[in-house]
Structure 1
Amino acid sequence: MRVATSQFYDSTIAAMGRQHAELVRLQQQITSGKRLQTAAEDPIAMGRLLRGREADVQNDAFAANRVAASDRLRFTELALSNLTNVIQRGKEVALGARKASLSDEERQAYLSEVQSQYEELLTIANRVDGQGVALFGGQRATAPYALQPVVPPPVPPSTAPANVVNYLGNGTVPKVDVGNGQMMATGVTGEDAFGPETPSATQQSVFRTYEAIISALTPPITDAASRAALQGQLDGLITNFDNNYQTALNMHVLVGTRQAQLDTLDSSGEAHGDQLKAMLLELESVDAASALSQFTQLKTALEASQQTFVAMRGLSLFNYL
């Protein structure tokens, strides 16, 4: 009989201990607002929760990458728009200077205009993004274009420029992960937009085109022969301006296409993020009303068990758990 009574007491105390532990767990849920406190409570749910948190952090990182890429592409798009505008004005000068009635005063005015455009081009080519990083330098963060002396220098009566603009960047554009395993280039190189440093049969740097038209417009017009010589040079340069314009326009379209891709990825990424956050909320959050109801019921049951136990033992005071 003593053994049975002892076993009863032990089992009753153990049961009340479990009730007390459950009360503590419910109280922690109510206080923190979180359903899971430790992995031991529900290993499967905790595993889903941890994986969901990791996916949510990664999705937010992709979103941040898209914002950074979009900002840089917007700076690039504006620069390319300015570039095409300058090239159009350069072609207009070439067409205007080609007229048969061109006076020497007009030649000087056109020369001054293309020299100003040349300087403007250099400014555009060395533009930076919001972080101060060169837009067209490839992996080079600082100014990718520089005005440098020609070696060996031209000898009079040559009208070739003594200084030319050279590209100091490289052909590699930084890429970032914008989601769905897609690595996107955040810009274009200088040679992509302004033309290659080494001329080809159909293309050359827009700076070489401008240096050529400046050289062509430098000698004064003294007679019909000098005017005809200028017209001949301008004919070829008009084609170069067209090629330079098309190159810049192609890059403008490419950058716009990337912007559209980012918009699409933003929409899908936002939807995915909403799904992840809803799942995390379901896994993490506790139903406060339900938890409070369980807590009240369990507390009442525990108090009743304690009172019954005290009465059965005939004690005047019970050391509550």
Structure 2
Amino acid sequence: MTPSTAATSTARGAHGALKPLSLLCLLTLLAALCFLSVAIGTREVSWEEIFAALNGQVNTVGEAAVAMRIPRTLLAVIAGAALGLAGAIMQGVTRNPLADPGILGVNLGATLAVVIGLAWFGMSLASAYVWTAIIGAGVTAVFVYLIGSLGRGGATPLKLALAGAATSIALSCFTLAVVLPRNDIAGGVRSWQIGGVGGATFDTLNLVLPFLLAGFAISLLSARKLNTLALGDELAAGLGEKVALARATAGIGAILLCGATTAACGPIGFVGLVVPHLCRLLVGVDHRWLLPFSAVFGASLLLLADVAGRILARPSEIEVGVVTAFIGAPFFIWIVRRQRVRDL
């Protein structure tokens, strides 16, 4: 082995050793944010009340306030992880740096399906919300992919982004048209459409958790297939990969994550766009590392946005969907300016 080869091998080994350490640091940050989330709110609480509430006591108003923040914190963690992971999956499946559950219209498809269920079919069962949102997300994802596949060149990243943007605008208009004549549901729907985790309960968590766990499992098991798809369809097929099946499997995982999260929190945007890009700066493009990093980073980002929303507007709150929009919109503009059209 030459000295240059040995140096390269040593550098790669050192870089590889940094990935587990970076993941551990992210998990430590997430744990600290979880503690901040149960400690900070519109009502100030003492350390004694925090620890008492964490031990299951609700004898005072402060302890009851902390107890209400616990399911909110857990929902923010799993929702952020789901959105970050779904964004990484969608960017890998479409090979599009602008892919995101919000930009491709998947979240809005789930939103429209839930609104139609409420307004036209009198949907009341909590489990029906989740199934309806997942179906809406799935139909929208397939529709956007089919539209983006039309014409010469197939489903190019630019065509998918344009198809998703156009579909998002249309779905927003349809949702507004369904809600406007229904004053009985308009207030609740508009509040839910902002996107937030403030109304979380353990019942909500128990309802969406099976769908999210299935989505996490399918998505994380798709890492190797996404690495192969990144080489291009022809080369992936030459290596024995069933391209259509690989895309469909990974897509199902992302749809489960987006649909269940939208049903529980409303359409929260930009987390799936911002997080995978930041994680690539840490771990590169290997999806075996990118996917778990995106999940942990997404959980940390959404939890941080929720805590910031409580601090910035005291004694009121800013919904987490508004905070993520303030973070994500400038980031989206930066990506568009950084990427040349032919590279999208």
Same fold (TM over 0.5): no
Instruction: Find the structure with the greater CA-based Rg.
Output: 1
Bigger fraction of residues in helix = 2
Bigger fraction of residues in strand = 1
TM-score by length of 1: 0.25
TM-score by length of 2: 0.23
